[in-house]
Structure 1
Amino acid sequence: MVMYLFSLSHIQARYDMALSRIRTLHVKTFEGHPTPVFLISNAYPGVWLEHAYDTLCYAQFDPAMAPVAQSQAELFLNNQRPDGQLPCYVLDRANPNIKGYGALVGYGQLQECVSFARICMGIYDMTGDKAFLERAYGGCARWDDWLAEHRSTMKTGLIELFCEFDTGHDN
């Protein structure tokens, strides 16, 4: 006979507690960006492109949070450079941990683990927001063009990562 230490109600209670903690501690607004975004931890003074996927995964667990995933993608699209480069991070100017970063919006590396276009498609699948899809499509096309121009130096058609920070796997 197998004995379980936890009942289904205990597991559900832990799940509910985790979602409540996320909603309370990790879903915040930034000055200048009035809709909430998902902060990966208190140690990070903003959001990083590599964590846009975390936001989508969170929304898959809690579909009511799909607007947070969309808001996070829009934060990156709103800060996309005219040449198509997406920022690797956007900091919350109100967070005291921003010292040492220099800029509130950084473009020093890619910080992309999962294709931003795929993340945007996942958000569209959850929200059905056609205006978002059209905007994201344009932004992602410009991002792909930027990657082809600046991150395919050997012209192989493959994106080149210059360091581990480009994937976000720096620690």
Structure 2
Amino acid sequence: MGLNVAKKIIQDHLVDGEMTPGTPIGLRIDQTLTQDATGTLVMLELEAMGLDRVKTELSAQYVDHNLIQEDNKNPDDHNFLRTACERFGVWYSRPGNGVSHPVHQERFGKPGKTMAGSDSHTPAAGAIGMVAIGSGGLDVAMAMAGEPLRIKMPEIWGIELVGELPDWVSAKDVILELLRRH
């Protein structure tokens, strides 16, 4: 039997390791996504590494979390993020442009690509055929610097639904039931 889409993408991006569930692998990352609550630390890591420009095909920084301007802290942080993005070659999405994960899918998402993001909703890009992994800021910074993302090879399931779902039952209900059972 051939590989499913997720396994094909992983195989195409495998830097080291074997595609055996549970074993350590390294993945080449095509895109990264950061948001303002985590992006500041990512940019500071890039500075600490002495990086000139990111090594990914595309990296994007979204300002969509800390928007309230009660004092100078958030505006100062946003200015730091904007200038760091200019320095490192990262797309900067200013406050008001929208929430990171749907905006990223709409503007930059590409089936067959890999993405690491420091936002918990990063995996939503799987809906358009990407392998998208939510990670900590340091892991995302390392991916931006051209290092492979180190993970354990996931167990990948194939699910086949036969027939029709009852009224008022959605895909979310199906996945929640699968998670409950397994």
TM-score normalized by the length of structure 1: 0.28
User: Which has a greater percent of strand?
Assistant: 2
More contact order relative to length (CA 8 Å, sep ≥ 6)? 2
User: Which has a greater percent of helix?
Assistant: 1
TM-score normalized by the length of structure 2: 0.27
